Every structure is written in structure tokens, then in C-alpha cells.
Structure 1
Amino acid sequence: LLEMGTEKEDYVSLTQRISRKTGGIHTALHTSVVKNSEKSTAWMLLRGKAMVRQVEELLAILQDILLAPRLDDQVRFRQMVLESKARLEHAIIPSGHHILDLRLRTAFSEADWVAEQMSGISYLLFLRELEERVEKDWVQVLSALEKIRELLINRHALLLNITVDEKKWLQIQAQVEAFLDSLPYFEPILHSWKPRKSSDFEGLTIPAQVNYVGKGMNLFSHGYRFHGSAHVITRYLRNSWLWEKVRVEGGAYGAFCLFDRLSGVLTLVSYRDPNIFKTLEAFEGAAGFLKGLDLSATELTRAIVGAIGDIDRYQLPDAKGYTSMVRYLSGETEPERQRIREEVLGTTVQDFNSFGAVLEEGAESALVKILGPKSAIEEVAAKKRWGLKVFDVL
């Protein structure tokens, strides 16, 4: 939408116009589980900034982008495919922990499956296929692009989120309403996805000297229901047990414990790790560490303060507006967030011990995925412990 140009101007002129008339426009994708549900919410976003006096021009640019994009430039589109493929391939080694974390989550959450299809290893495989299709069957690719735009650009399925001073809103309201009236309006047809979730134990090979080791599980499937203390516990686990065992003793550059309170998915992931088996042993020992933990009052207070700082970070107005929209899309409310704050502040040592028991139960059905050099992956596969499915990523 932003890099192909429009019927009025090529992509260079469009880029210059955006830079000259606005504070920037960019696209984004948002996927999330809806609170208290297994349903997903998935949105294509266009985000723009402008001074009030520039809003009319911002809306005019958005109108051109949405209603009159030029999608038929095969040479330009192929260039974009190649750039996207190269960018993702280049990011895999430095951002291997993010790639692996997302790949792990696809087995447990539809929203994460969707995100991985659009930004993970599955997306890289798609881009490689798309590169060939652009060369051999451009007519079909163009038809798909036009169909996607036709389905997505719909006033009936649009959410507009504006962050602005109340008095300034009165100045731009008529312009915004005129923009909305210009968009197509029709009853959307909702489709159910049938995710082909990556539930295999996988060894993903890359030309690197280090590993990224991951273990994931869904705690909600074992009866756990989110409690604010989980913020404190997972943060403490990362900064104590995982830091000591995986980073200090194991020599990895980092280790993470990531918990999604909407989906219930918890992942343990290492970063630039020389080990595989030692790291997996550390992951397996995390539950026992929490079950037997006995914190002093000072240590507990320090852990709580750190978690509260993560929850209530300072935000500029544009970030506040965007965060408000994301919470709305996932069904989160301010009373719910206040309850979580109170639970964080009321965290006890017993909460740590109980969470350890849940983690121990979840580990029984946990999934392991490893991103690393072929030799290390094949060594793990030879152990035949998990029936590791091995394939080359790079």
C-alpha cells in the first residue's frame, strides 16, 4: 500500500508526499487472543501522525492509498518481495530468540499461528514461493492482490482510533467523517481459519555457531487461570534461575521467560546459546526451583516493584492511544488492569510455590524447538528423545 504508488503518483512521489505533508505513515499487523476466549483478533493497521492543520492532507493520502493503489507494477512488486525475503533472512540469526518464540507459540494459539504466518519462518517459506510465482504467474498474483484489497477495505469492518485534544477533535471531525464516507461499505464475510499448527518437536538449522533453545506450554490447558502474581514470578524466574543457569553457568547471551496472560502460553527461550542439553535441563529445573523457593520480605518487595514498573511504563500520547486501541481489540478493560495491579502488589511466596506446581504439570505436555547449526541439531536428533523433525531454514 505504501511502496507501490497510486494511480496518481509513483511510489517515489508518494513517499516524498508523505514525508513532506505528515509526520509519517506506516503499516502494521496486529494479532491477539481475545480475553476469556479461544478466538483471535487480527487487523491490518495504517498508522499516521500529523498536526491538526495537516489532517486533511493525511486523510487525502490515506484515501489515495486505500482506494487507488497501483498494484500492477510487476518489477516493483518483485523487488519488494526480494527485499522482504532478504530482510527476514538477515534477521533470523540476530533475532533467533524472537523467531523461535513465535514458532513455539503457533502450536498453542491461533493468534500466534496467524502472526507466524505473516512474520515468522512460515512467512519466509511463503516469500520464497511467492518469488517464483511472481516470475511464472504474475497474472494470478496480481489477481490475489486485488482481491485482498477488495476484501479488506471496508467501512463496515473498520476501526478508527484517533488520539487528539478534545477541542482539536471538533476541528477535524467533519474531515474524518467525510473520509469514512468515501470508503466502500458492505457486509463482511467472516471465515474460520483452519490452522496447520506446528506441533512437532523441531530442529531448525541455520549457518551459525550458536543455538536458540525453546520450550513452550499452555498453562490454561492445565487448569491455571491468570493471576497478577504471574508477572512477578516470571520476571523473577528470568532474572534469577534462568540468568544463573543458562547465562552465567551455561554461557548463553541471554534467557527469557515469556507468558501471555490472554492465551496462557508460557515459553522459555535462550539467546546465542553454546548449549542445548544443559539449557533444556535448566528449563526442566525451573518448576522445582519455584516450588522450593523461600524469599525474604526484602527480595519479595524488590520483585514486586520491578514487575509494577513493567506494567505501568511511561508512554507518550501516540503510544497511549495505540495501547488503548490494542486493549480494546483484545477485550481488556481498565478495571481488569487495576485488579492485576492489586494482585501484583499482593504477591506472596506461596504464589511462587503454586506457580511452580503449575509449571511442573505444564512441562509434561511441553514442546521443544531448537534453532541452531546443523551439526548440533543432528546430534540432538540422534538421541531420538523427541522424534525431532529437522529442516533447513537458511
Structure 2
Amino acid sequence: MTADGKTLSNTGKFVGKFLDLLPSKSLVERASWNVRLPSNNEAIVIPTQVNYVGKAANLYDRGYQLSGSAYVISKHISNTWLWDRVRVSGGAYGGFCNFDTHSGVFTFLSYRDPNLLKTLDIYDGTGDFLRELKMDDDTLTKAIIGTIGDVDAYQLPDAKGYSSLVRYLLGITEEERQRRREEILSTSLKDFKEFADAIDAVKDNGVAVAVASPDDVETANKERLNFFQVKKAL
């Protein structure tokens, strides 16, 4: 709960009664749930003139050990490589990536994209982009500042309460958060180069999913020999 001191004092006894009514852990039957979907390239076909193209893989499965520099690198990939190639040159409404540091899944995504295979090729070229990257100190500093602004963004009380709850459930300590901050602030060009090997997991073992037009899916399957398993949306 997040509230002012007076409200917390007045509601404390009611919250306590509510918590006492909840079943104990011994009475809760834990359900087994396989959260992983089959690792198949899949296309969902709809009558559209644009596509939504994603490709993802788990970097932890390839042995990557999380460093705070990954936050800086993934943000830079979105703001430069994907922006320039997927949006500016490719004509998509949006192109970006996301690294879920809790699960290890790194995802590339495009939005209202006139391309399909071309966009997948751009995703696969990200590792080479990082290896060949040249960056001066000013550009690196701006990337670090932008990342810290996201990590320690201003929050209203309700958002602070929710963030605290999530960190508690995930077991994220203040010591770990401080360590990530220090890793972000010490990010170097060398970290970008080293991350290239980790992100190649998406190229080599990633799963592609697209919401696309029938013509684009047909072309993709001809060029990649039944690249997608096709489903038609109702």
C-alpha cells in the first residue's frame, strides 16, 4: 500500500483483518505452468498492407551474464541502428528492441513495417553493427545519461509502491540495483563490442514472429523454404 501516514494508520487494522482471512501457504495448491511457447517461426496472416515483425532469443541460455552495460547498449541499438535502418530507411512507423533482464529474452520489434525479410536481416546484422561501432566520449556519455534517466526516473507514490512490490517479488535488492547503476555509469565501447557475441544468439537461434499480409508471407516462405508456420487470423 502507498498512502500518507494518517491513511496508513487508519486502514492498518482493516488490512490486518483482510490478511488474516487469506489462506495459508499450505492450503494453496501450486499449479504447474509451462510459460515457454514452441520455438517455431510463426506468421499470423491478416489483410494488411504493413507488417509487425519480431525476433527474439534468450541470451542467458547462451551463457550471457547480465551487466548494467546491457541497458545502455540496447537503448543505443534502438536509437541508432534500428531507427536508421528499420524506420528511416525501411519506412516502418517504428523499430526498437527490448532486453528483459529478468528472463534474459532479447527482442527485436517493428511496427507498421512495409518490409518483412529485410527487417529480419537488419535484426541479424546487429552483432556486426556493434563490432564495427565507433563512438566518441560525448556520444557514449549521452547514451549513459539517457539510460540512467530511465532507470531512476521520477515516480509518483503509486508508481513507487508498485516498483517496490515488483522488486520484492523478484528478489531484487538495493545492493543489486546500486551495482547495476555503477555498471551503467562505467559502460565503455569495449562493452558494446563484447555484447555483439551475446546478441548473435538472436541471429543464430532466435524465433521470428510476424503479423503480415498473405503476399509477404508467401514471398518469405518461397525465399526461405517454408520459413514461417502460417496461421490466419479470423
> What's the TM-score once normalised by structure 2's chain length?
0.93
**Preserved contact between residue 201 and residue 386 of structure 1 (Cα < 8 Å):** no
User: Rg: which structure is higher?
Assistant: 1
How far apart in 1 are the matches of 2:192 and 2:108? 17
Aligned counterpart for 1:377 among listed residues 207, 217, 229: 217
SS at the partner of 1:383? Answer: helix
Residue 393 of structure 1 and its aligned partner are, at CA, apart by 1.8
How far apart in 2 are the matches of 1:368 and 1:167? 52
How far apart in 2 are the matches of 1:220 and 1:269? 20
Instruction: In structure 1, list runs of 5 or more residues that go unmatched.
Output: 1-161
Instruction: Output aligned runs, 1:91-130, within 5 Å.
Output: none
Aligned counterpart for 1:232 among listed residues 48, 69, 72: 72
Aligned counterpart for 2:126 among listed residues 286, 297, 308: 286
Structure with the larger RCO, 1 or 2 (CA within 8 Å, 6+ apart): 2
Structure-1 residue corresponding to 2:96: 256
Tell me if 1:212 matches 2:52.
yes
How far apart in 2 are the matches of 1:194 and 1:311? 30
Instruction: Output aligned runs, 1:51-62, within 5 Å.
Output: none
Structure-2 residue corresponding to 1:246: 86
Residue 193 of structure 1 and its aligned partner are, at CA, apart by 1.9
Change (3 A) 1:357 1:181: closer
Structure-2 residue corresponding to 1:222: 62
Per-residue displacement from partner, 1:193-213 (whole Å, max 9, x unpaired)?
245623111111112110011
How far apart in 2 are the matches of 1:379 and 1:274? 13
Instruction: Output aligned runs, 1:75-90, within 5 Å.
Output: none
**Preserved contact between residue 55 and residue 202 of structure 2 (Cα < 8 Å):** no
Change (3 A) 1:263 1:249: same
RMSD over aligned Cα atoms? 1.7
**Preserved contact between residue 55 and residue 207 of structure 2 (Cα < 8 Å):** yes
Aligned counterpart for 1:197 among listed residues 25, 32, 37: 37
| Corresponding pairs, count | 233
How far apart in 2 are the matches of 1:317 and 1:386? 51
Change (3 A) 1:243 1:257: same
SS at the partner of 1:375? Answer: helix
**Preserved contact between residue 222 and residue 362 of structure 1 (Cα < 8 Å):** no
SS at the partner of 1:225? Answer: coil
Residue 184 of structure 1 and its aligned partner are, at CA, apart by 5.2
Tell me if 1:163 matches 2:2.
yes
Instruction: In structure 2, list runs of 5 or more residues that go unmatched.
Output: none
> What's the TM-score once normalised by structure 1's chain length?
0.57
How far apart in 1 are the matches of 2:36 and 2:101? 23
